[in-house]
Amino acid sequence: MKPIHTLTPAWQRATPMDQLRALRRAALALREELLDEPALPFYRSLDLIRLPYPTYYAYSGVFAQQGFKFPFVQLQNRVFVLRYVDFEGRARVLLFSPSDHQANRATPFFAELARSLPEALHPWVAPVTRSVEEALTLAGVRPEEVDYLSFDHLHTQDLRRWLGPQALFPKAKLLVQRAEWLSVQGLLPLQAQWYCPQGCEGLNAARIELLDGSVRLGPGLALIHTPGHTAGNHSLVVRAPDGLRVTSENGVSADCYAPEHSRSNALRRFAQRTGQEVILNGNTLEGSTAQYQSMVLEKTLAGPAPDTEFPYCVPSSERCAFWAFPGEPVSHFFGERGWGQ
């Protein structure tokens, strides 16, 4: 791995607006560097589970002021399977966002939501497409091949099946920002609603790789520190055949990164009235100013997605249409995607 230092000075500027301007310039320069590299040899994004999520959090700041027809939206959670070559020429496999959705149900917020609904409705409200193991089979990857696991942040994640004593992945290491890992060790009540109880306990410390900022994992692949949603949030950046794909959960839909183009009147008018160029995913407000800056960094780094007016920012849990919520448009849906063999 190689550290990325070009973004650090921007975060050290005196004022939030100075930081934002510097982050744009640094992101444009980094974008050109990554576009000069080859596309990743293999990439698959595969659906795992669709789950309800409060609209109030999905479009932080907009819900209260503009109003939406429904209190929930539906998010499609995915795992991202990547094969790449590191800087020493070794073939590697990275799983990004491999959610153990069975164990993750113990997360206090979702456990309470589940208790409020009859059990017979659970498969309808949160339908499962496949498990991580089934996704790996579809991608042609064996568990023993996996070198690294990573998540944009550790909300709702239970890692014990992946990295505990009976680990499914015998050699994998967790790539996590030091700030995120330390935060999990001593959560405030504000945070604890969104973290799986004991989800990071009993893991082999030798399999935790702590990162101190942005890193490049190999040609065409990077993890960019994007703090705000959590202190240790980071975003996956992949050189694709058609550009740079940036993935995190800072925003839950394409609309969040370009609300001025949204088909949702509430989002578009909110952006026009306030001048906000991004809409935060705000279920915890650890650092809203930093999250705003991080999302602008993401959209600048990504550039435009092919055949759309939205940035190439692909949420790890993406807002999707749902027949029970009519009249709430989804402006653009990236869906599953893949290339390579």
Q: What is the pLDDT of residues 273-322, one digit of tens each?
A: 999 999 999 887 788 999 999 999 999 999 999 999 999 999 999 999 88
Q: Which two tokens stand for residue 77?
A: 């959670």
The pLDDT mean for the chain works out to: 94
Q: Give the integer Cα–Cα distance in Å for 110 and 112.
A: 5
- What is the pLDDT, as a whole number, of residue 246? 98
Domain ranges across the chain: 2-57+78-239+285-303
Query: Which of 43-57, 105-119, 154-168 shows the lowest per-residue confidence on average (mean pLDDT)?
Result: 105-119
- What is the pLDDT, as a whole number, of residue 27? 98
Q: Give the integer Cα–Cα distance in Å for 174 and 161.
A: 13
- What is the pLDDT, as a whole number, of residue 63? 66
Question: Residue 61 above 90 pLDDT?
Answer: no
Strand segments (E) across the chain: 2-3, 42-54, 72-85, 91-96, 148-150, 173-177, 208-211, 215-218, 221-225, 234-240, 243-247, 317-320, 337-339
Question: Residue 60 above 90 pLDDT?
Answer: no
Average pLDDT over every residue of 148-165 = 95
Are 293 and 19 contacting, i.e. CB atoms less than 8 angstroms apart?
yes
Q: Identify the burial level of 236 via C-beta atoms within 10 angstroms of its C-beta, where 0-12 means exposed, 13-18 middle and 19 or more buried.
A: buried
Structure-token match 């301007």, residue found:
21
pLDDT band at 107 (very low <50, low <70, confident <90, very high): very high
- What CATH fold (topology level) applies to the domain 2-57+78-239+285-303? Metallo-beta-lactamase; Chain A (3.60.15)
Q: Give the integer Cα–Cα distance in Å for 135 and 146.
A: 13
Structure-token match 């800056």, residue found:
293
Q: Identify the burial level of 131 via C-beta atoms within 10 angstroms of its C-beta, where 0-12 means exposed, 13-18 middle and 19 or more buried.
A: middle
| Coil vs helix vs strand at 211 | strand
Are 271 and 260 contacting, i.e. CB atoms less than 8 angstroms apart?
yes
- Give backbone dihedrals phi and psi of 220, rounded to 5 degrees, phi first: 80, 15
